[in-house]
């Protein structure tokens, strides 16, 4: 009996459903278990309500004018709605420009990171060479290093070669792969059957073509996870852009938010509208990749 219960678990860890049925039958009969379930759902509902409140409040405040914003008692549904906040933020406050900068930086990061990290991970997962495991430990160890330690000397180096207020300090390091993404790709590649690679090799397929034509097409789940995480990471990055991008022309969305000041008087509703705008892409992206992200966290956990 326990073996039967055990097996589906191992196969697909994400669903606890498979192993549950006998319990479900008992649950219906047992009032204590039903009470427990009600308590569980109540606790979760209350917590989610707490979580959601600031975000509902945010949307409400983003659709007001300044007087409505400070009105006491608080109006949850603004009347009238000020949709102009959003168009004003985008067009009058230059946010279109910031969004454009952030967007192309994020798309670049996604494309380059997938290519470089999977390339390196392919080396770590499919070849035997002296020092491989030690070097992989170094990859993992770099995740522990606070990036700020390096930033200071990198800043001076970039200043000396004239890269300050250009996008190069943000673009160039991405070409060399990122530790967490290399780790994710490697874990996934190790789970792919080697027989397919072998078959390709015997047919005269070089390792480079194996990576591109055999490995990557099988890696859709991990590619999606890396794409979402990389996009989010780039989209919200503040420290790097704050230090390297000094001119207004090159501001990214987080910098636009940080330096948000109004040429037209108090503008908290506008700031709230700008925040709503910057939160939409991550939410949409999560919705699109959700199925894979839960599994991605499971991959990360194997470590």
Partner 1 sequence: MTMVSAEQRPRPKRRWWRREGVQGYLYISPWLLGFLMFGVAPLIAAFMTSLAKANVFRTIRFVGTDNYEKILTDDPVFSTIAGNMLIYVIGSTVISIALGLGLALLLFKDFRGNHVFRTLIYVPSLLVGIATAYLFKQVFRGGEVGLANMFLSLFGTEPVNWLGDSEKPWLALVALILVNVWFAGGTMLIFLAGLKGIPASYFEAARVDGAGPWQMFRKVTLPLLSPVIVFNTVMALIGHIQVFETPLAFANSGGVATGNPLGYENSLGTFVTYLYVKGFVYQDMGYASALAFIMFAATLVLTGLVLWLARRFTAYGDADQN
Instruction: Tell me how far apart the alpha carbons of residues 247 and 221 are, in angstroms, rounded to a whole number.
Output: 38
Q: Is there binding between residue 224 and partner 1 (CB under 8 A)?
A: no
How far is 281 from 283, CA to CA, in rounded Å?
Answer: 5
Per-position x/- string for 284-303, each x denoting binding to partner 1 as judged by CB under 8 A, each - no binding: --x---x---x--xx-xx-x
| 35 lies in the site for partner 1, by CB under 8 A | no
Task: State which residue, 140 or 196, has the beta carbon closest to partner 1.
Answer: 140
Binding segment toward partner 1, per CB under 8 A, in 81-89, 94-102, 145-153, 214-222: 145-153
How far apart, in whole angstroms, are the C-alpha atoms of residue 182 and residue 58? 37
Tokens 């035997």 -> residue: 128
Instruction: Identify which of residues 139 and 223 has a Cβ nearer to partner 1 in the complex.
Output: 139
Can you tell me whether residue 13 is helix, strand or coil? Answer: coil
Q: Among the candidate windows 78-86, 95-103, 174-182, 219-227, which touches partner 1 by CB under 8 A?
A: 174-182
Mark the segment that binds partner 1 (CB under 8 A) among 94-102, 149-157, 188-196, 216-224: 149-157
90 binds partner 1 (CB under 8 A): no
Calculate Rg over the CA atoms of the chain: 25
Task: Number of residues interacting with partner 1: please give it, by CB under 8 A.
Answer: 100
Residue 297 to residue 249: CA distance in whole angstroms: 37
Q: What is the C-alpha separation between 96 and 173, in angstroms, rounded?
A: 26
In terms of C-beta density within 10 A (0-12 exposed, 13-18 middle, 19 or more buried), how is residue 154 classed? middle
Query: Which listed residue (82, 88, 177, 185) binds partner 1 by CB under 8 A?
Result: 177
CA distance 278 to 272: 10
H/E run at residue 57:
helix 31-62
Residue 128 interacting with partner 1 (CB under 8 A): yes
3-class secondary structure, 93:
coil
Binders of partner 1 in range 237-276 (CB under 8 A): 238-239, 242-243, 254, 257-261, 268, 271-272, 274-275
Instruction: Please report whether residue 154 would count as binding partner 1 according to CB under 8 A.
Output: yes
Query: Looking at 29, 77, 127, 195, which residue binds partner 1 (CB under 8 A)?
Result: 127
Q: Alpha-carbon dihedral of residues 285, 291, 294, 297, nearest 10 degrees?
A: -70
Rule CB under 8 A: is residue 194 a binding residue for partner 1? no
- Contact set for partner 1, span 4-23 (CB under 8 A): 5-6, 9-10, 13-14, 16-17, 19-20
Q: Which of 25, 40, 140, 220 binds partner 1 (CB under 8 A)?
A: 40
Residues near 20 by Cβ (< 8 Å), separated by ≥ 6? none
Among 130, 217, 263, 265, interactor with partner 1 by CB under 8 A:
130
Interaction of residue 25 with partner 1, rule CB under 8 A? no
- How many residues appear in the chain? 303
Please report whether residue 74 would count as binding partner 1 according to CB under 8 A: yes
Q: Contact with partner 1 (CB under 8 A): which of 66, 94, 142, 171? A: 142
For 206, list phi and psi in degrees, rounded to 5: -70, 165
């Amino acid at each position: 009996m326990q073996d039967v219960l055990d097996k589906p678990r191992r196969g697909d860890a994400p669903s606890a459903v498979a192993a549950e049925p006998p319990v479900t039958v008992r649950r219906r009969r047992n009032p204590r278990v039903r009470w427990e379930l009600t308590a569980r759902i109540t606790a979760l509902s209350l917590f989610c309500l707490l979580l959601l409140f600031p975000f509902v409040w945010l949307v409400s405040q983003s659709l007001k004018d300044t007087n409505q914003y400070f009105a006491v008692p608080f109006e949850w549904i603004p009347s009238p709605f000020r949709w102009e906040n959003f168009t004003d933020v985008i067009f009058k406050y230059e946010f279109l420009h910031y969004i454009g900068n952030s967007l192309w930086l994020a798309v670049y990061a996604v494309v380059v990171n997938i290519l470089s990290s999977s390339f390196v991970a392919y080396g770590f997962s499919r070849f035997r060479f002296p020092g491989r495991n030690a070097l992989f430990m170094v990859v993992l160890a770099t995740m522990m290093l606070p990036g700020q330690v390096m930033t200071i000397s990198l800043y001076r180096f970039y200043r000396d070669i004239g890269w300050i207020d250009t996008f190069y300090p943000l673009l160039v390091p991405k070409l060399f792969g990122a530790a967490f993404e290399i780790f994710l790709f490697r874990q996934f590649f190790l789970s792919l059957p080697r027989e397919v690679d072998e078959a390709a090799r015997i047919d005269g397929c070089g390792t480079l073509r194996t990576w591109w034509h055999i490995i990557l097409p099988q890696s859709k789940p991990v590619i999606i996870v890396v794409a979402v995480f990389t996009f989010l990471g780039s989209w919200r990055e503040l420290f790097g852009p704050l230090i390297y991008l000094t001119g207004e022309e090159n501001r990214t969305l987080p910098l636009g938010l940080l330096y948000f000041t109004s040429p037209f008087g108090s503008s908290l509703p506008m700031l709230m509208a700008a925040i709503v705008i910057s939160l939409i892409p991550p939410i949409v992206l999560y919705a699109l990749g959700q199925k894979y992200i839960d599994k991605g966290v499971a991959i990360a956990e194997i470590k």
